[in-house]
Chains A and B, each alone.
Chain A
Amino acid sequence: MPKAVKGVLVECDPSIKAIILKIDQAKHDYIVEDLDDQTLVVKESQLQRLKARLEEELSNTQQMPDDSASD
């Protein structure tokens, strides 16, 4: 019998997905279903927290180009 599960479909680059998997690894409290390289389903209630965590991870590893301060 087919089943329906509520959640948020997240589509992203494989590299971003790898980070999400890493974040989820600690407690397994984000991901509902891992679909493929670029898609997964996460819990709706956790989406905001996941975004914040992702932003945090990225800012640790990436350097944003500077805003030119000239006016």
Chain B
Amino acid sequence: MSASSLRSFEYLEGLPGTTFNRLYKQPSTALAIFRRMLPHLAKSFVMALLYISHPMPVTDLEAWVRPDGRRERDNAVNLLERLHILAAATNPGKPRAYALTNPFAASLRLALTGGGNHHSFGVPYSTSEEDTMSITDLDEFARRQWEGVLGYMVGSTGMNIASEGVTLSQGVKILLASGRLVEARGKTVDITKDGFAFILQEVNAQVWTMLILYLQNAESLNMDEVDVLAFLFMLGSLELGLPYSKANLTQTQANMLEDLGDFGIVYQASPDSSYFYPTRLATTLTSDAGGLRSSSFASPADNNRGFIVIETNYRVYAYTSSNLQIAILQLFARLITRYPNMVAGKVTRESIRRAVSMGITSDQIISYLTTHAHPQMAKNQPVLPPTVVDQIRLWQLEGDRMKATVGFLFKDFNSQAEFQAPCRYAEEIGVLVWKHEGQRKFFVTRHEQVAAYLRNKSGKGG
């Protein structure tokens, strides 16, 4: 599962149940959650339960999964419950049973089999020939806008980035600042730790991060969160290169179009035109394909190609003239010379330590170098020289004297037996980080499942 969907998960899980209830009224939302957010096993459960009208006893559900797949099953069921897709029907006297929650099931059925008058998948608009935008035009527009945003963020690293005529609206700048991706210091902006991590992510993850920021800000702008989310999920189901009508959008959603235009997520000829185009950034939001990688999104000259060569002596050559790419490279490498079509530099202990102290991890650097490796480099197996990869990791470790894991400590167990059962359970579902038999304490990354297990246990025991 990609980082981007993890990020959107965390956000979604934090929403109250009533919000889900309203969200799932839109078939496009139900379908988007289903196809993008669920692992395969969870999808199978949903499909199997979709046309069953009465709750399915837990034992039957368990029978579908082989005993050795228990962990996957528990994870799937747990996720479905957290997303309010599956709910346990509590009939006293009867065994526990699961059923799909209603707006979700009804909407998904509508989405899969069609019908209804919901306009939830957008209403196509017919334009006259000369007004149509080609897919290349849309890609170019999206790239320019998005690079404008990134350029604004790294603009403070000392490189002067010519923003290619993109002027960022005040709204975008405020959004970046409120998400703590940049910090305004008087007239200039400084990029923050989170900002650096953000820059090195792939585009789809960046878009999601930005949209979640937008959502969190929506309420302070008097926008309805559900309206905003439903619109985003709808955008994900539109087709690239087709214009869509604005007629059936709510006021909030019409306002959003303008903001999303600043990011290059949608295109509209002017704020009062009666149609809009989704760009590739929008249509890949909820698809599994992930379509658009940051490498293919580099400046048109570097089209789709990797451009970085790194040698075993830590020297880096980057065949690019894009100021944005150079600025990004400069985050973790010491650049020495610049030629019209290439920059040369070196990865040093100091430059990596600086990057790490800004919050960039060695893994991010390595994955950036790998995905942007020059085609000649990409032929190698492994792509990057192992010595360089190891050294970058070691340089980071040098600064990381301790390993920190956020989570929960369980303690004060009365007996060894009482301690062992939940501890083993935590290990099975893969959340256990540390345990100590003698002290009867253990540490987990998530407590919900373990707490539920303990409650069940004490319920049964007496």
Contacts and interface: CB of A to CB of B under 8 A. Distances in A.
A32 B409 CA distance: 10
A2 B405 contact: no
B349 A11 contact: no
Chain B, interface residues (CB within 8 Å), range: 20 to 34
Interface of A: 1-13, 16, 20, 32-33, 35-36, 39, 41-42, 44, 47, 51, 54-55, 58, 67, 71
A34 to B, nearest CB: 10
Nearest to A5: B409
Interface of B: 336, 346, 348-350, 399, 401-414, 418-419, 422, 433-434, 436, 439, 441, 443, 447, 450-451, 454
Contacts of A51: 402
Contact of A35 (B402, B404, B441): B441
17 contacts: A2-B418, A3-B410, A5-B411, A6-B408, A7-B409, A8-B404, A11-B405, A16-B401, A16-B402, A20-B402, A33-B409, A33-B411, A33-B441, A51-B402, A58-B401, A67-B348, A67-B349
B402 A10 contact: yes
A39 B401 CA distance: 12
Contacts of A47: 404
A9 B433 contact: yes
Nearest to A11: B403
Given A9-B443, A67-B348, A71-B346, A2 B411 contact: yes
A1 to B, nearest CB: 7
B401 A4 contact: no
Nearest to A42: B404
B207 to A, nearest CB: 28
A1 B401 contact: no
A26 to B, nearest CB: 19
Of A32, A41, A47, A54, most buried by chain B (CB within 10 Å of CB) is A41
A69 B419 CA distance: 56
